[in-house]
Amino acid sequence: MGPYWEDPDSGLQLHCGDMREILPALGIQADCIVTDPPYAETSLEWDRWPDGWPALATIVASSMWCFGSMRMFLDRAPEFTDWKLSQDIVWEKQNGSGFATDRFKRVHEHVTHWYRGDWNAVHHETPKTEVHHRTKGNARGGQPDHTGRRGTSVWEDDGTRLLRTVQRVPNMWRRGAIHPTEKPLGILDPLIRYACPPGGLVVDPFAGSGSTLDAARQSGRRAIGIEAREDYCEAAVRRLSALTLPAA
Ligand SMILES: C[S@@+](CC[C@H](N)C(=O)[O-])C[C@H]1O[C@@H](n2cnc3c(N)ncnc32)[C@H](O)[C@@H]1O
């Protein structure tokens, strides 16, 4: 079956249906998956974990960013055995999303990066950010490194630093969300830039409002999304059909 919606100009495609049927039928190899599956932690009708989806995901890519909670990843760990964990990121939000009144207020989610095969064969672009407080004369040749050893290499300050593993990005609360767990473009953008080269292909098998597709387009990547609910597919198409200016 063909896509529910597509925009050949920007290389976006949305499929409406169960990812367990659609993903294997796509017959594609993508650069990476960036996805936010149902965590199975709420009473929302769609919030049910599709058994076996991480194994299915290996059909289309060897690199995957996956949102989730610590509880979700621990509960579902046996389903990720086809993947190797490279790193985890914490998305810090401005307000809480937890439901328990007898625990710390949960203001973060995890994003884990998984890969298969040889790490060097998996695209990963070192994530850097510009710094504005440059220090002078901080080359560290001859200074002890963190192990106490004195090295001979000289570190040159090029005005950038690695992105931090804790990323503070406001969630979509009071920002016109069209999905109850919509992810902001600001957290998706660095994940996509890290794992997918410009012009490459991103897949999101749990597309919701189409946020991953939107972020992919804004960073010059192509994307294929799959979403089971038709109302969310309609909302995603409305969003993706609207003119979106590239991110500054
Ligand atoms: C956590 S939400 C994703 C939200 C999305 N990241 C966004 O920013 O809008 C998970 C989505 O997966 C969809 N879903 C659940 N089971 C599915 C399945 N078997 N196949 C495809 N989509 C499914 C749900 O309807 C829901 O919209």
Mean pLDDT by runs of 10 across the 248 residues of the chain is 94 98 97 98 95 98 98 98 98 86 93 98 93 58 59 78 95 91 97 98 98 98 98 98 62
> Do the Cβ atoms of 31 and 201 come closer than 8 Å?
yes
pLDDT at 154: 72
Instruction: Kindly state whether residue 230 falls inside one of the protein's structural domains.
Output: yes
9 Cα to the center of ligand 1, angstroms: 25
Residues 31 and 80 in one domain: yes
Q: Are residues 67 and 77 in the same domain?
A: yes
246 assigned to some structural domain:
no
pLDDT at 137: 47
Q: How does DSSP classify residue 77?
A: G
Pocket of ligand 1 (CB under 6 A): 18-20, 36, 38, 46, 50, 179, 181-183, 206, 208-209, 211, 226-229, 232
Q: For Cα atoms 109, 70, 56, give the angle at the middle one, nearest 5 degrees.
A: 95
| Best of 46, 189, 204, 230 for a ligand 1 pocket test (most atoms within 8 Å of beta carbon) | 46
Last residue of a domain, one of 162, 182, 217: 162
In order of 93, 153, 182, the CA distances from 97 in angstroms are 9, 46, 12
Tell me how far apart the terminal alpha carbons of the chain are, to the nearest angstrom.
36
Number of domains in the chain: 2
Q: Do residues 106 and 204 both lie within one domain?
A: yes
Query: According to the model, what pLDDT value does residue 149 have?
Result: 66
Domain that holds residue 90: 5-127+163-241
Output the six-digit token pair for 202: 């991103």
Distance 38 CA to ligand 1 centre (A): 6
Using CA atoms, how far apart are residues 138 and 59, in angstroms rounded to an integer?
47
- Residue ID of nearest Cα to ligand 1 atom 8: 182
Minimal-distance CA residue to ligand 1 atom 12: 206
145 & 184 share domain: no
pLDDT for the residue 121: 97
Ligand 1 atom nearest to CA at 210: 9
* Secondary structure E strands in 22-165: 32-35, 63-68, 84-92, 108-115, 128-130, 160-162
Phi, psi of 156 (to 5 degrees): -95, 130
